[in-house]
Amino acid sequence: DTGVSQDPRHKITKRGQNVTFRCDPISEHNRLYWYRQTLGQGPEFLTYFQNEAQLEKSRLLSDRFSAERPKGSFSTLEIQRTEQGDSAMYLCASSLDRGSEASQETQYFGPGTRLLVL
């Protein structure tokens, strides 16, 4: 088990460009989450997947943002027409949902992708 990995770790782009980030969860984990963290703040939820199904999206996720998890394994987060306000750390986390309403499996985080939009 190598943990959650994210690629790239850093991305610098110009305003208006598109960027795509990748997250590889822990192999047996069926839930995958995306969060955004700005400097000095706690992470904020963006969206999450149960296997390949995207079950919830935050209001923070504007129509310029799209996330996919096509085969229920890795996930991608794409930002189209980037804006300076998109500059942040994008965190991915995964967990194993065992299907019990009483269980809450811990979310394990990746190292994040730090995005800077110039």
Partner 1 sequence: AQTVTQSQPEMSVQEAETVTLSCTYDTSESDYYLFWYKQPPSRQMILVIRQEAYKQQNATENRFSVNFQKAAKSFSLKISDSQLGDAAMYFCAHVWGAQKLVFGQGTRLTINP
Residues contributing to the site for partner 1 (CB under 8 A) = 31, 33, 35, 40-45, 48, 55-56, 58, 91, 93, 95, 97, 102, 104, 106-112
Nearest to 14 by CA among 92, 63, 86, 89: 86
Residue placing its CB nearer to partner 1 in the complex, 27 or 103 = 103
Residue placing its CB nearer to partner 1 in the complex, 80 or 87 = 87
- 52 burial type by CB count under 10 A (0-12 exposed, 13-18 middle, 19+ buried): middle
Residue placing its CB nearer to partner 1 in the complex, 68 or 105 = 105
CB of 110 to partner 1, least distance (A): 6
**Amino acid, single-letter form, for residue 98:** R
CB of 81 to partner 1, least distance (A): 26
CB of 89 to partner 1, least distance (A): 10
Residue placing its CB nearer to partner 1 in the complex, 80 or 114 = 114
Check residue 86 and report its DSSP letter. G
Q: How many CB atoms within 10 Å of residue 71?
A: 9
CA 102 to CA 5: how far, in whole Å? 28
